[in-house]
Amino acid sequence: MDTEAALTRTETETPDLSSPGGLARTIRLRRAEFGPLARHVDLPEPGVLSPLPDLAAAGADEAGSDTPESVREPGELLREFTGLSTVTVRAALLPLAVPDRVVDARSALFDSAPTQCRLYASHQAEAVFVGLRPGPAGEYELMAPFAPQDLAWWVQLQVQFSNGQPIPLPSAMEELTAEELAFLLVLVDAYKTAFFRSFAGRRQRPTPVTVSLTDVLEAQQDALRVADRRWISHCVAELFAAQLHPGGRTGTLLPPVTAAVAERELRRYAAAGDLEPAGTGNPQAYELGLTLATFAGTLFTWISLLALHDVQVVGYEAGRAVAQEDMVLFVVTEPTVWTLVSQGLTRAGQDWSDVRFGLRALGVVEATDLAGDFLRPIPGLSLPEDFYWPEPEPEPEPEPEPVTEPLSRAPAAPVPPTEPAFRPTHRVPPGGMSAWTAPDPALTAVTRIDGRVELQVLERAGDWAHIVCSNGWSAWVDGRRIEEIGS
């Protein structure tokens, strides 16, 4: 594909995922360099989804402590674009300033932290993304122009190590509510624990591997308490919690598996014949049927997880952006690619009770095709010009009316001007940590914070620390585990 042609497509064209890609150049940037680079290529004022204001604000703080030589000239940063015209370079980077779509692409190998790449697209620069991901030594890697085919190839590389067999599912698992999905993941972890415990000693006769209500609830508590990425319920929760949602909210999780939910689901699976009662103990123990045991067994040691989370703006009225939200999750195993597709995320907010998840076993080709369809933009969308280039705001009145909060910028909402500037004092340990709404161990943790995230400690209460993140989100964490910056 010709680079100039790819960047100057008309807005009526749909990206062709069958066309060759491989155009992306990679620029490594410090935060203090984003502002000068944007001005150098004459990017427009950032739109509501642009990450540039947050990066530039943080970069301004960094620049005060950097030596002049450490902030490089824009010409040096753009060496990878040598030979391209200024118009072409500006078009390649335009989605970073005025995006109307954000795709989070995350992958995680077994027992490894998920890698992230956030992709920005705009109808003002059709058929290309700008990718932004954490780089080494606190830098960012900016990838542009990132074609849809590049992302489709990336998906194919992630799923290619599976045999992709069409493994059947119990009928009760083909469409799941958020509660049912949470239970299924915890059930797999409970069965995995019981299965490996069965190898602890020799036995005289075959004994079935069973799970009970107690095992399920213990697996749920382990998932909340211990950040162990070998367990499927923790890994899926980690990917869900990191998604960027309309309104900028993060940390959204599947609902916890309570005793009432577990009892209900155990009875439902038993009634369908997927669980068989074993013995007469209290609580009742169950042996997994062949189909359910096959599903759970494939997830004991999966190869990788791959999540694509898409937010597309579909309307803009009265200064407020309306977005459509979808997610697809591939769990790559040796026998098959388990594929989870969301329905109903757009209006879910923090309450996922109406969200449905479709679960299927796909082959490599089918999984790649599904990702290609998922990555195509919604056809026929046309947003008003003031979404991309809003009119200057009038001078504020002495007592201004409250303004409806627009869709937050990505990747994090800036701290309101009336609040103190964020000054990180500590960081999360490498393995990440749980967070609570109050310093009470009896409460259920609301989310997990990724490792190495910078925090500001607001106050302490015994072993607890009240922290705030750079996007203004606050919570209580175990103050004994956070690491002081500079120590």
pLDDT at 180: 96
Whole-angstrom distance, CA of residue 127 vs CA of residue 124? 10
Q: Where does 15-138 have alpha helices with state H?
A: 34-40, 52-65, 74-77, 86-97
Of 374, 308, 288, 253, nearest to 105 (Cα)? 308
Structure tokens at 472: 């203004």
Residue 34, Cβ density class (10 Å: 0-12 exposed, 13-18 middle, ≥19 buried): buried
Residue 27: in which H helix or E strand, if any? strand 25-29
Confidence of residue 273 (pLDDT cuts 50, 70, 90): very high
pLDDT at 247: 65
Q: Percent of the chain scored above 90 by pLDDT?
A: 40
Structure tokens at 334: 């040796």
pLDDT at 462: 80
Confidence of residue 392 (pLDDT cuts 50, 70, 90): low
Pick 437 or 395 by higher pLDDT: 437
For 124, other C-beta atoms within 10 Å of its C-beta total 20
User: pLDDT, tens digit, for every residue of 199-208?
Assistant: 988 888 888 9
Mean pLDDT, range 86-90, rounded to an integer: 88
Whole-angstrom distance, CA of residue 460 vs CA of residue 320? 38
CB–CB of 52/96 below 8 Å? yes
Of 264, 288, 290, nearest to 275 (Cα)? 288
Q: Has residue 52 got a pLDDT over 80?
A: yes
Whole-angstrom distance, CA of residue 209 vs CA of residue 195? 6
Q: What is the DSSP letter of 436?
A: B
Confidence of residue 11 (pLDDT cuts 50, 70, 90): very low
CB–CB of 470/424 below 8 Å? yes
Query: What is the distance in angstroms between the CA of the first residue and the CA of the last residue of the chain?
Result: 50
For 112, other C-beta atoms within 10 Å of its C-beta total 12
Confidence of residue 86 (pLDDT cuts 50, 70, 90): confident
Phi, psi (rounded to 5 degrees) for 45: -60, 140
Q: Could you give the angle at the alpha carbon of 152 between the alpha carbons of 151 and 154, nearest 5°?
A: 60
pLDDT at 414: 36
User: pLDDT, tens digit, for every residue of 289-303?
Assistant: 999 999 999 999 999
Q: Has residue 420 got a pLDDT over 70?
A: no
Going through 80-161 in order, the beta strands assigned E by DSSP cover 101-109, 115-121, 129-134, 140-146
Pick 433 or 339 by higher pLDDT: 339
Please tell me whether the overall predicted TM-score, pTM, comes out greater than 0.85 for this model.
no
User: pLDDT, tens digit, for every residue of 129-186?
Assistant: 999 998 877 789 998 888 888 888 888 898 999 999 989 988 878 899 999 999 999 9
Of 401, 409, 477, nearest to 437 (Cα)? 477
Mean pLDDT, range 348-357, rounded to an integer: 87
| Dihedral of alpha carbons 157, 378, 405, 447, sign | negative
